[in-house]
Homo-oligomer: A and B are copies of this chain.
Amino acid sequence: MSTRTAPGPRERLLRAAQDLTYRHGMGVGVDAVLKEANVARRSLYEHFGGKDGLLAEVLRRSTDEDEARYRQTMNAAGQDPRDRLLAVFDELARVIDAPDFRGCRYLAADLALPDPAHPGHAVTRDYRDRVRRLLEHELVALGHPRPGHAAAQLLLLVDGLLAAGATRQGTDPAAATRELAEHVIDTRAPGVSR
């Protein structure tokens, strides 16, 4: 019963789909996923009801992994909320510098799925809210005067950084982002724009 038993078809499907959707986008064919996972066509429909169900589950699992990564990045940075927040941006700098970085999964999913009723959208919306709360929690601990507002700003910086990283502009976007993040975090008086 160990977790080291050979993963079943469901698990293999999820892993293959997670990999292929990230590398080739949401448009990957079911055939490609099945081939990569070495799973029969029918099993996909038994487990997930169809391609949409598989994609939604892939997104859901990814959000859990990524949220956990945010948490452990922050925990590794110590107890000071300021350090914990900035550690997130340092980690993102590493992420976008990875040679196989292909942009934010969730933004790509939202932009690639034209149907607003697709179950994937609910997953990405929930994910963004979880991350926002994570940031807001640290800002509250820091005694920030407008934690909700600042959290929204930090999330905006995260989105911008991931977008910039995906589109590979020459100037190092991570440093510029970190600078703005520090400003957001260190703003102690509300409404002061300069």
Which chain A residues numbered 133 to 187 have a C-beta less than 8 Å away from chain B?
148-149, 152-153, 155-164, 166-169, 171, 173, 176-177, 179-180, 182-184, 186-187
Q: Quick check: B27 and A111 within 8 Å, CB to CB?
A: no
| B169 contacts A155, C-beta separation under 8 Å | yes
Number of copies of chain A assembled together: 2
A42 adjacent to chain B (CB < 8 Å): no
Q: Is A57 an interface residue (CB 8 A)?
A: no
Task: Answer whether A180 and B180 are a contact pair too, CB < 8 Å, given A114-B24, A167-B128, A187-B194.
Answer: yes
Instruction: Tell me whether B108 and A111 are in contact (CB under 8 A).
Output: yes
Bound CA–CA A111/B112 (angstroms): 8
> Which B residues lie within 8 Å of A167 (CB)?
106-107, 110, 124-125, 128, 159
Residues of A within 8 A of B (CB): 23-25, 27, 102-103, 106-108, 110-112, 114, 124-125, 128-129, 132, 148-149, 152-153, 155-164, 166-169, 171, 173, 176-177, 179-180, 182-184, 186-187, 193-194
